[in-house]
Amino acid sequence: MQTIYILWLRQIKRYLRSKPRIIGSLGQPLLFLVSLGFGFGPIFQKAGGGNYIQFLAPGIIAMGILFTAVFSGIEIIWDKQFGFLKETLVAPISRTQIMVGRTLGGATVALLQGLIVFIITLVAGFRPASLNMLPIALAIAALIALFFTAFGTAIASLLDDMQGFQLIMNFVVMPTFFLSGALFPLGGLPSMLETVARLNPLAYGVDGLREALIQSAHFSMSIDLVILSLSTALLLAIGSLLFARIEI
């Protein structure tokens, strides 16, 4: 447990010391919130969808968590190249503990980033439907952060090249985001796209956040929580296995 705590704390300290990283990672969610929220807001309202900022905000919060969580895997490749990971792996501690500590740290950083985005959405005019549901929204956000941090760790465990990691992540992350229902309702989609959305774990995260924050959902809270929990547990197991196979 001490190893997990130390690695978790190290990730948090890295994040808090890197103010340009904090500000830079807010750029994309802020751009989407402002350009889409206010640009397409009148069209969305005329189409009978209501206030688009209310609909969009949960998806933008999920976006802030997603990108921060996935790209935390870059730190593993960075540590590989500079030898820090080798020093950690040769220590007489379980690699599973190392992976769990790093994943918890990365997920906490992603969750903090999501909370910052949430505050920005409040400034933009978003208002949660019920304050009593905020703890559930926080739990769903934590599951999203854990899932995609474990995903980034699993991919980084297979690669030694930072550029390759970025290419793979962009190829995977952008479709994952756009097909999650973060920007548009999932109802009424062509059957093929709806099938893809149902296979997308982020879709259940966005749906759960939307239900908790504005009491509107495509699936249901129970389905969202079950699928997110099972997917996160599975990916943590896969990430631990791949991380344990890293050669030093």
Q: What's 131's DSSP letter?
A: G
Confidence grade of residue 248 (pLDDT, cut at 50, 70, 90): low
Which distant-in-sequence residues (6+ apart) come within 8 Å of 232 by Cβ? 143, 146, 147, 150
Nearest to 50 by CA among 63, 37, 60, 62: 37
Domain that residue 132 falls in: 2-244
Q: Taking the model in full, what pTM does it have?
A: 0.90
d(CA 175, CA 170): 8
User: pLDDT band for position 16 (50/70/90)?
Assistant: low
Indicate the DSSP class of residue 71: G
- Mean confidence (pLDDT) of the chain: 84
pLDDT digits (tens, 9 = 90+) for 95-152: 778 788 888 888 998 999 999 999 999 998 899 988 899 999 999 999 999 999 999 8
Overall average pLDDT of the 228-241 stretch: 91
**Which of 19 and 39 is assigned the larger pLDDT?**
39
Give 186 or 200, the one with higher predicted confidence.
200
**Is the pLDDT confidence value at 196 over 80?**
yes
What is the rounded distance in angstroms from the CA atom of residue 175 to the CA atom of residue 193? 11
Q: What is the pLDDT of residues 48-81, one digit of tens each?
A: 667 889 999 999 999 999 988 888 877 777 777 7
Percent of the chain having pLDDT more than 70? 87
Number of domains in the chain: 1
Distance (Å, rounded) from C-alpha 144 to C-alpha 204?
A: 9
